[in-house]
Amino acid sequence: MIDTTLELISALHGTWRGTGRGDYPTIDAFRYEETLRFELDRAYPMFHFEQRAYLLPDREPSHWESGFIRLMEDGAIEMSSAQDSGRVEVLRGKPETLVDGSGFSVTLDHVVLAHDPRLHATRRTFRLEGDQLHYIVYMATHTTPEPELQQHLIAQLERID
């Protein structure tokens, strides 16, 4: 199953750039630009990724994270992320081929959250269609009345290499 999953998500390899927007009930809405790099190493097999975001319009540094995406025996993927705030997340989900075969989608739910006591849960959804990568980040924190997952970020990136 690892080979099947690897072939499905190998199209992530490369550099992606685009814009997104963020909000949450306890913060002001914002816009950002980001660059996201995925480097596939077939020897492991796994990806290394690095994401850097800048607030618009001034391009003030906003967020930086790095980590790995590894393939699991059951066809799932596991994303481990270390963030500039000190937060550590591990998320897991099973990618699925899009009906038209142009890419894949995956929903990753947290299995580990550390070093951020405000956070109760996270989820990331990715959808790759050709040279377009869309994602949504959801989170639940102690700052909202009901700690339920709410959309925090949404972005669209394009392959630049």
* First-last CA distance in the chain: 28
> Taking 80 as the threshold, does the pLDDT of residue 159 lie above it?
yes
Q: Per-residue DSSP letters for 116-140?
A: -TTEEEEEEEEEEETTEEEEEEEEE
Span 11-20, pLDDT tens digits: 999 999 999 9
CATH number of residue 151's parent domain: 2.40.128.20
The answer to whether the bond into 145 is cis (omega within 30° of 0) is no
**How far is CA 14 from each of CA 65, 100, 120, rounded to the nearest angstrom?**
16, 22, 32
> In which domain, by residue range, is 145 found?
2-159
Cis peptide before 25 (omega within 30 of 0): no
Least confident of 62-71, 111-120, 142-151: 142-151
- What pLDDT is attached to residue 161? 87
The percent helix, strand, coil of the chain (3-state, each to 5) is: 5, 65, 25
Q: What is the pLDDT of residue 143?
A: 84
Q: Residue 62 and residue 70: Cα distance in Å, rounded?
A: 26
Q: Write the pLDDT tens digit of every residue in 120-146.
A: 999 999 999 999 999 999 999 988 777
How many domains would you assign to the chain? Answer: 1
pLDDT the model gives residue 144:
77
| Sign of the CA dihedral with 141 first, then 19, 126, and 53 last | negative
Query: CA distances (Å), 32 to each of 50, 123, 158, in order?
Result: 16, 20, 15
What is the radius of gyration, based on Cα positions, of the chain? 15
